[in-house]
Amino acid sequence: MQTVYRAENLFDAHLVKDALEHAQIPAFIAGEYLTGGVGQLPALDYLAVMVPDSGVEAAAGIVRGIEAQLAEAREALREWDDDPGTAVGVAG
């Protein structure tokens, strides 16, 4: 098994795992149960999505696509957070 994605959080790890499995690539989240052990602290570098050696090449393209989508979504959220007109309770 080889790591094809290091996740910032469990949601991202499952997003990648589900996309890989949808493409018929078996996937496993290493460290999934360690997140409970660290409690409220961020689980840095504990989560990794792994695939069998035979699926690494096919997984790479899928992972790149998801990483690009996540980067776009995070940037959109930053822009939304920076716009004072989008604050809850602000009449517009």
Task: Name, in order, each residue with C-beta under 8 angstroms of 23's C-beta and a sequence gap of 6 or more.
Answer: 58, 59, 62
Per-residue pLDDT of the chain (92 residues; tens, 9 = 90+): 999 999 988 899 999 999 999 999 999 999 887 766 555 555 566 889 999 999 999 999 999 999 999 899 888 888 877 766 655 555 54
The tokens describing 48, both together, are: 């990794």
The tokens describing 65, both together, are: 């696509």
Give the whole-angstrom CA distance, residue 83 versus residue 37: 36
Q: What is the pTM of this model?
A: 0.73
